[in-house]
Amino acid sequence: MWKRIFGTSLLIASIAIYFDYTKPVYRSVKKRPDKHYDYIIVGGGTGGSVLASELSSNPAIKVLLIEAGGHESWISRVPLLAPMQMILDSTWNYQTVPQSHSHVGFHDQISTVPRGKFVGGTGNMNFYIHNVSSIEVHPKLVSALETSRQSPLLTSFIASNDSRGIFSTMSNLQKNGQRLSMADIFLKPAMNRDNLHVMLYSEVLKLYFKDNRVEIVEFRRKTNHFNVTTLDGTQVVLCGGSINTPLLLLNSGIGPKSVLRAQKASVQVSIVKDLPVGQGLSDHVSMPLYFHVNQSKWQDSVNLAKLLNPKHMWEYWTQGTGLWSSTHILGQALFPSDGTMILLYAMGAPNIDAFTYVSNMKRDTFNVLFPEHTDPFKEGFIMLAICLKVKAVAVRSGVKIGNSMSQVEARYHLPKFPECDQFQADIGNDDYVKCMIRVASMTMYHPIGTMAHEDVLNENLSVKGLENLFVVDGSAIGSLPSRFPNEAIIHLALKFAEQRKEEKGFTQ
Ligand X SMILES: Cc1cc2nc3c(=O)[nH]c(=O)nc-3n(C[C@H](O)[C@H](O)[C@H](O)COP(=O)(O)OP(=O)(O)OC[C@H]3O[C@@H](n4cnc5c(N)ncnc54)[C@H](O)[C@@H]3O)c2cc1C
**Residues contributing to the site for ligand X (CB under 6 A):** 42-48, 66-69, 83, 86, 114-117, 121-123, 125-129, 203-204, 239-242, 244, 248, 445-446, 473-474, 484-487, 489
- If the CB atoms of residues 93 and 499 are measured against ligand X, the closer one turns out to be 93
CA distance 154 to 60: 50
* Least distance from ligand X to the Cβ atom of residue 134, Å: 12
- If the CB atoms of residues 4 and 76 are measured against ligand X, the closer one turns out to be 76
Chain centroid offset of residue 197 CA: 25
Tell me the DSSP string of 390-420: --HHHHHHHHHHHHT-GGGT-EEE----GGG
- If the CB atoms of residues 446 and 500 are measured against ligand X, the closer one turns out to be 446
- If the CB atoms of residues 195 and 486 are measured against ligand X, the closer one turns out to be 486
Tell me the DSSP string of 225-269: EEEEE--TT-EEEE-SHHHHHHHHHHHTTEE-HHHHHHHHTTS--
Length of the chain counted residue by residue: 508
3-state SS, residue 283: coil
- If the CB atoms of residues 135 and 159 are measured against ligand X, the closer one turns out to be 135
Smallest CA-to-CA distance from 413 within 369, 362, 361, 366 is with 369
**Helical residues (DSSP H) of 46-165, grouped into ranges:** 46-55, 139-142, 152-159
* Least distance from ligand X to the Cβ atom of residue 360, Å: 14
* Least distance from ligand X to the Cβ atom of residue 124, Å: 8
- If the CB atoms of residues 4 and 117 are measured against ligand X, the closer one turns out to be 117
* Least distance from ligand X to the Cβ atom of residue 188, Å: 14
Q: Which residue is nearest to ligand X (CB)?
A: 45
- If the CB atoms of residues 70 and 152 are measured against ligand X, the closer one turns out to be 70
3-state SS, residue 120: coil
- If the CB atoms of residues 42 and 250 are measured against ligand X, the closer one turns out to be 42
Q: Do 287 and 109 contact (CB within 8 A), yes or no? A: no
Smallest CA-to-CA distance from 174 within 313, 51, 327 is with 327
CA distance 373 to 379: 9
* Least distance from ligand X to the Cβ atom of residue 286, Å: 11
Residues in the annotated binding site for FAD: 122, 204, 474
Distances, alpha carbon 155 to alpha carbons 150, 151, 169, 411, in Å: 7, 6, 9, 17
Residues in the annotated binding site: 122, 204, 474
* Least distance from ligand X to the Cβ atom of residue 97, Å: 19
CA distance 501 to 489: 18
- If the CB atoms of residues 349 and 451 are measured against ligand X, the closer one turns out to be 451
* Least distance from ligand X to the Cβ atom of residue 338, Å: 21
Distances, alpha carbon 34 to alpha carbons 63, 195, 229, 381, in Å: 10, 11, 10, 56
* Least distance from ligand X to the Cβ atom of residue 409, Å: 29
CA distance 473 to 159: 37
Phi, psi of 505 (to 5 degrees): 60, 40
Smallest CA-to-CA distance from 355 within 330, 385, 335 is with 385
CA distance 205 to 372: 48
* Least distance from ligand X to the Cβ atom of residue 354, Å: 12
Number of C-beta neighbours around residue 401 at 10 A: 24
